[in-house]
Amino acid sequence: MRWSIIRLIWSREVRDQLRDRRTLFMIFVLPILLYPIIGIGTVQFSAALDQQARTVVVIGARFLPETPPLLNASRDGFDPRWFDSVAEAERLKVVLPKAEAEADWLDPELRERGIRARVADAVVVIPEDIRAQLERDAAPRLPIYYDSAGERGQITYLRLKEVQEHWKNEIMSGRLARDKKPSTYAEPIRIQPVDIATATEIGGGIWGKLFPFLIVMMSLTGAFYPAVDICAGEKERGTMETLLISPASRAEIVMGKFLTVVLASMTTAILNVVSLAVTGLQMASLVGGAASAGRRSAAAALAPPTLTSAFWMILLLIPLSVFFSAVCLALAVLARSMKEGQYYMTPLYMICLPLIMLTLMPGVELNLFYSLVPITGVSLLLKALITSDYQTAWRYFLPVLVPTVCYGAIALRWAIDQFESESVLFRESERFDPRLWFRHLLRDKDPRPTGGQALFCFALMITLAWFLMQAIATSAAANGGSASTWTMAIGQVGFILAPPLVLAFALTSDPLGTLRLRLPRAKYLAYAVGLALAANPLSHALGPIVESLFPVSKAIARSINEMISGTQSLAATLLLFAVIPAVCEEFAFRGFILSGLESGHKTRTAILMSAILFGFLHVLLSLFQQLFNATLLGLVIGLLAVRSRSIWPGITFHLINNALAIFLGRMAAAPASAGLAGRLFSDPAHATYDVKVVLLGAAAAAVLITRLAREPNDRADAVTDLPVSAPGSA
């Protein structure tokens, strides 16, 4: 790439963005206006909420003892001594109904109707014999009726509970003084909480949850709108053709636009963070001006993070903006118009929100698994840095940073591939007619599925898997036991094998070619057998390392062992855990999905994406510990499928790999100390391969993969190389 051209395109795009009033408003004006308005509104609404008095109807107030008094002298409120201040006492208004009206409040139906109609926020019923019970040291009950479904009822109940607690303590003090007992008599043990967190650390905990959420959402928002404008907007304005006929290559054009979107994303996020921090300082000064110690501590908690935390936020903002900018640019290239580009915002938000909301859940802490999850890893790392948990932050800094950059690079590669496709760049806006679209699918079928259809197949598999697994679990619970392995095998056929088969025959004119059902040459079957045998020792040796980094819970391990041990026959075990998964998963991922991804991407990109989806399926439906193993094996199987133009070598590799895992598990259960096992395994009891076998297998696998990568694609049928027909063509 020529960086001078990239810099020229970047400066052009930046100038165009600075001329757009909507972009300037979203990046510069909105952050300055938004948070002060939110801050002022929050303070005013909070003040208005505090000033509203809650109405409490007290039934039988005449039965209350004179000392200590529960109500004030005017009998329209509670005694101020039971509150921290007179202002707090005024927030509860007491209403004493007349004697003839008390009967209505004592009727349960009428009382509930009055509370729901907000005639009263709470009702306190004083028993007639309360004085007698107190005189004989009994514990009378004072029921409080309120509606917990509304915040008014909840707030009123909490205030009444505090009043009763203070009143109860005063009665207890009188009893202790009367009986000449020490104050510790009624409270033999006092719990003394000692919070070592400073006010600044408490504030860091609050901002540690708020700032990551804000940075993620603002980075996404700041990247999406400029990306749509400089891609879909240029299509509408007719300036895309002028740019494409310039001496710049497609990759250089994408890089220039990409850097523009990164700049907009970072600027938007930084300005939002700065505006929120300034607003927080202002609110802290307003709250801190109050006299109470509680408000002063609240003001300290509202203080924004330190400069060190701000530095880390800006530093981590770079890879986050890179990731979002690449994703948004790829989606914006797909869009035919600005309107269609804005439609993509909703599903993108729906995907990002659960990943960021996960960091707000209690008990979720940064570990090696979360560090590999997009968005979640960066958010948890930001949270650790803001809360000064540097030990955790340094441990997972690179595990978070490297995958985020890799995800951004994959998305950027996707954007470049999209930009190099003329059919994507010059699609015109069109009105969608479901009947015409459905007719086109059935009549004008292409030989291979599109990339969108491949991703739809994957999404359909996940959706069907969810509903089928719920049905299986419900059926098992109804039968009072766990689901049988045969039921789960049938379910796997239903949600993994059925979707690609149905879609291949419904959407393509060459379903057999799409599923790669042609017979392969013998050498590719030999490659499959050799790679499966050579890679197994290394894969098995890496298993304990992965499990040490990502421990499997005992409950899951016990469930898996019970499932495997529930099938006594070796043939049945091989069928359930080797043959059926190999056939189903290969038809889906190296058949329909890989064929669809190949139609819109380069072969390397298609193999990588299908392998990632293959690993992601194992995360969703099995163990997230299988992500690495499944993804790496998916790369090898994808290479086998592309070179051989057949699905059978992949099925062979997959079947042998799963079968070896079953044999190793049985060997560990009944170890052999001599013969072949003694030469292959250093510890037959745990089926641990000898180091020499692992190294030899790794070397053999490397040689086989290198030779396979250099092999030309096997004889391709002519249909594979035909261009994708345009909609409406014959």
Indicate whether 173 and 283 sit together in one domain.
Answer: no
Contact 146, 115 (CB under 8 A): yes
How many angstroms separate the Cα of 341 from the Cα of each of 171, 329, 347, 446?
A: 69, 10, 11, 26
The first and second tokens of residue 119, run together, are 């005639």
End-to-end CA distance of the chain: 40
Distance of alpha carbon 122 from alpha carbon 99, whole angstroms: 18
Determine the structural domain holding residue 61 and report its residue range. Answer: 52-178
Domain assignment present for residue 419? The answer is: yes
| 3-class DSSP assignment, residue 241 | helix
Residues 71 and 103 both lie in one domain: yes
**Which two tokens mark 526?**
């030999």
Residue 631 CA neighbour count, 13 Å, CB half: 13
Which residue has tokens 């009206």? 101
For residues 265 and 324, is the Cβ–Cβ distance under 8 A?
yes
Q: Do 128 and 101 belong together in one domain?
A: yes
Residue linked to tokens 């999850």: 373
The DSSP result for 410-473, as a single string, is: HHHHHHHHHHT-HHHHTPPP----HHHHHHHHHHS-BSS--HHHHHHHHHHHHHHHHHHHHHHH
Give the integer Cα–Cα distance in Å for 302 and 32: 19
Whether 730 is in a domain gets the answer no
Residues near 126 by beta carbon (within 8 Å), at least 6 away in sequence? 58, 59, 60, 61, 63, 64, 142
The answer to the question of residue 713 being in a domain is: yes
- CB under 8 Å to 705, separation ≥6 — which residues? 531, 636, 639
Residues of the chain with pLDDT under 50: 44-45, 47-49, 290-296, 673-674, 716-730
Is 136 among the domain residues?
Answer: yes
Q: Coil, helix or strand for 682?
A: strand
Q: How far apart are CA 259 and CA 223, in angstroms?
A: 10
Residue 353, Cβ density class (10 Å: 0-12 exposed, 13-18 middle, ≥19 buried):
middle
The verdict on 408 and 260 lying in the same domain is yes
Q: Which of 376, 375, 371, 393 is nearest to 384 (CA)?
A: 393
189 domain residue, yes or no: no
SS percent in the chain: helix, strand, coil, step 5 = 70, 5, 25
Instruction: State whether 285 and 152 are in the same domain.
Output: no
Same domain for 122 and 255, yes or no, is: no
511, 473 Cβ separation under 8 angstroms: no
CATH number at residue 111: 3.40.190
Residue of 694, 696, 579, 586 whose CA lies nearest to 640 = 586
Q: Total domain count for the chain?
A: 3
Q: State the Cα angle at 160 between 155 and 162, rounded to 5°.
A: 100
Which residues, at least 6 apart from 370, have a Cβ–Cβ distance to it below 8 Å?
364, 376, 377, 380
Q: Which of 395, 362, 363, 366 is nearest to 379 (CA)?
A: 366
The single-letter code of the amino acid at 414 is W
**How far apart, in whole angstroms, are the C-alpha atoms of residue 312 and residue 207?**
14
Structure-block tokens of residue 218: 């603002």
Q: Residue 585 domain-assigned?
A: yes
Please, what is the Cα angle at 154 between 152 and 158, to 5 degrees? Answer: 120
Q: Which amino acid is at 477?
A: A
Question: Hey, what's the torsion of the CAs at 639, 640, 642, 644, to 10 degrees?
Answer: 150
Alpha carbon distance 213, 356 (integer Å): 6
The pair of three-digit structure tokens given for residue 111, joined into one six-digit string: 């009382």
In the sheet that holds 144-146, the strands lie side by side as: 92-95, 54-59, 122-125, 144-146
Q: What is the residue whose two structure tokens read 């008599």? A: 185
Decide which of 148, 178, 208 is a domain's last residue. Answer: 178
CB 211 within 8 A of CB 359: no
Q: Who's near 300: CB < 8 A, 6+ residues apart?
A: 199, 200, 202, 203, 284, 288
Strands (E), 61-208: 92-95, 122-125, 144-146
Nearest-angstrom CA–CA distance, 698 and 694:
6
471: in domain: no
Looking up tokens 């053999």, which residue turns up?
Answer: 700
Same domain, 342 and 444: no
Measured distance CA(562)–CA(478) in Å, rounded: 20
CB 628 within 8 Å of CB 615: yes
d(CA 51, CA 364): 37
Say whether both 323 and 406 belong to one domain.
yes
Non-local (6+) Cβ contacts of 257 within 8 A are: 9, 10, 13, 227, 230, 231, 329
306 SS3 class? coil
Four-residue CA torsion sign, 392, 396, 397, 400: negative
Contact (CB, 8 A) for 6 and 14: no
Q: Are 376 and 357 in contact, with CB atoms under 8 Å apart?
A: no
The answer to whether residues 70 and 13 belong to one domain is no
Residue ending a domain, choose from 387, 404, 425 = 425
Residue 342 and residue 305 share a domain: yes
pTM beyond 0.85: the answer is no
Q: Locate all alpha helices (DSSP H) within 508-553, ordered by sequence.
A: 511-514, 522-549
- Provide the pLDDT for residue 639: 92
Residues 233 and 360 in one domain: yes
Q: pLDDT tens digits, residue range 577-634? A: 889 989 999 999 999 999 998 886 778 888 988 998 898 888 776 666 677 788 888 9
Residue 590: exposure state from Cβ atoms within 10 A (0-12, 13-18, ≥19): buried
Q: The tokens 């998916």 sit on which residue? A: 634
Is 246 found in the same domain as 173?
A: no
| Residue 472, in any domain of the structure | no
Partner residues linked to 123 by β-bridges: 57, 145
